[in-house]
Structure 1
Amino acid sequence: MIHDDIRLTVHGMQDLPAISPMSTKLLGVIGDDRLSIHQLADIIRQDVSLGGRIIGLANSAYFGQREPITSVEDAIFKALGLRLTQNMALGIALSGPFSSQVHCAAFDMHGFWLKAVLTANLAQGLCKQVRGDLQIDIDMAYLAGLLHELGLLPLVYLYPEQMNELFTRRITRHQHLREILRDELGTDQHEVGTWLAMNWQIPPAIVDVIAHHAEADYDGKHALLVLLIHCCSRWAILYMEDGVWDRLPEETDVLLEHTGIDRSEMLTVLKQQHVKFGAMESMAHALVES
């Protein structure tokens, strides 16, 4: 069966790029409070391409730098900050082996990154409004937003022609991609992303988000983070369709109840994303083109 073939390929890493040494190093310093700007810069500089992409991000319109950023240290210190650089570098490093070899015309790489950036930024903004004891780690939420659709990349990498047809079918039939993948492949991007994330030893909280962010009623260990990314991802999808920023996803009331966020506060954060949309588009372009 196709499902079993995909599972064996992903679990056995057959025909898939191995996780890069850079990704392994970056995963190794997640949550390390002792990590300094210079230490992170030293890690990133070991990969010339990654260093260039981080500098490119720092020079994007999102950060509004008056003078060009020319070094990794300046990118971290003057623009991105330590944790955002760490998350962006990891997202780029993990996706790099796939995104550099995409031969699927119907796959919108810019749209992939734009949705990831929108989801991550909204999740970060909402985390700051969470009340009570149920605090969500802001950096983990941002990384979860960046990686929540990671499973699309190995599917496009392994099956470019078939995925090209399925992406086209989604547009013509107005059907959810996850449903199409389930019907045709017996699996979907969330399951494939989970297999890959577990093989690559990505933090369990991120694995749960990749696996379950389409399930609004998920009640596992990281349920609040999963619900947050679910709502942020749904908002990003709707917003990218028509630019309406104040339309709330169906599960918003559940998220507000569990986090103590006020509806007016959520609308304020959503408007901030709308105002920054052009800058986030430039960030997505930098992620694709650099």
Structure 2
Amino acid sequence: MLLAELVDPELDVNRVLELIERSPPIAARLLGIARSAFFAGPIPARDLSDAVIRVLGLRLVRDLSISLLLSAPFERDRCPAFDPGRYWRRAMLTATLAEALAAKVSGDREETLAGVYLAGLLHNLGLLVLVHLTPEVMDEVFTTAAADPEHGVAELTRQRLGLDHCLAGAALARAWQLPPGLAVTMARHGEPDYGGGYWRLVQLVGFAERFGTLAERNPETTGDLDLAPPAALGIEADEWRRTASRWCARIGHLCEMADAFS
């Protein structure tokens, strides 16, 4: 019921507060995010109401709450090599960069902007599905990937299970009847040349994940990373450099904010 109400586009801020107050774990995480360095201001958030109304805003609170609710059912403790902090850092870096770039995309910006932050937060939700269903296999996958970075988690997962987190995410999206743009992004964000429905959203999130992964690994050299948004998105080179520079300067604070999720 909580999730069904949160996705209602007519939901007002007072009702959102009522819903969140029913879930103390979500309320605590949102308050921690509002008090993080990323949202630092002269007056820290005093309580949940202050965090929602003054600091975070309705749209961000809804997206964060939905992502926390959708990820909550999955057990992670049986997979010791899974790092929830890393998972949420990647999610937060992807969501914030994709959203920053969405306003620069040429063409149908309304479609692109709708749900881009939430799509970024949830693009790898299929990974939690695999950790929950096959913890022993995924523990080996994460351990192997850490020892040999040449073989990524997706490749190793396909070798062991015959599918990767994108396919697992697509199956989950169908089962839970998630919005189509979100479902397609979860399934296709690993395809840089994807050109089907919601292609702008998919390419934005996929690029943001790739750049965010490199930036997290090499925070001191992000200005030298030879990676630019797909040409089809129509983002001007100068706009990309300015956006990337501003975003890279906040990576540390974004990672700190993501830690409130884990």
TM-score, normalising length: structure 2: 0.92
In 1, the alpha carbon distance for the partners of 2:90 and 2:109 equals 26
Task: Map 1:1-12; keep pairs closer than 5 Å.
Answer: none
1:151 and 2:126 equivalent? yes
Match of 1:191 in 2: 167
CA RMSD of aligned residues (A): 1.7
Are the aligned partners of 2:125 and 2:169 in contact in 1 as well (CA < 8 Å)?
A: yes
How far did 1:136 drift?
Answer: 4.0
Match of 1:245 in 2: 222
Stretch deviating more after TM superposition (113-122 or 270-279): 270-279
Residue deviations 1:125-178, cap 9 Å, x none?
011222344444435111110000001112112222221111111122320211
What secondary structure is seen at the aligned counterpart in 2 of 1:245?
A: helix
In 1, the alpha carbon distance for the partners of 2:147 and 2:240 equals 34
Match of 1:276 in 2: 250
How far did 1:73 drift?
Answer: 2.1
Match of 1:26 in 2: 6
Match of 1:4 in 2: none
Amino acid at match of 2:212: A
Are the aligned partners of 2:81 and 2:139 in contact in 1 as well (CA < 8 Å)?
A: yes
Residue deviations 1:157-205, cap 9 Å, x none?
2222221111111122320211111111111111111111221121110
How far did 1:69 drift?
Answer: 2.3
Match of 1:204 in 2: 180
Say how many residue pairs are matched.
259
Between the aligned residues of both structures, percent identity stands at: 33
In 1, the alpha carbon distance for the partners of 2:203 and 2:24 equals 37
In 2, the alpha carbon distance for the partners of 1:137 and 1:35 equals 22
Task: Map 1:121-200; keep pairs closer than 5 Å.
Answer: 121-174=96-149, 175-200=151-176
In 2, the alpha carbon distance for the partners of 1:130 and 1:166 equals 36
Q: Which runs of 5+ in 2 are unaligned?
A: none
How far did 1:47 drift?
Answer: 1.4
Q: 1:223 to 1:166 in 2, by over 3 A?
A: same
In 2, the alpha carbon distance for the partners of 1:146 and 1:127 equals 15
Residue deviations 1:5-42, cap 9 Å, x none?
xxxxxxxxxxxxxxxx4223323x1xx1x332112112
Are the aligned partners of 1:191 and 1:211 in contact in 2 as well (CA < 8 Å)?
A: yes
1:80 and 2:56 equivalent? yes
Are the aligned partners of 2:103 and 2:109 in contact in 1 as well (CA < 8 Å)?
A: no
Match of 1:61 in 2: 37
In 1, the alpha carbon distance for the partners of 2:141 and 2:73 equals 22
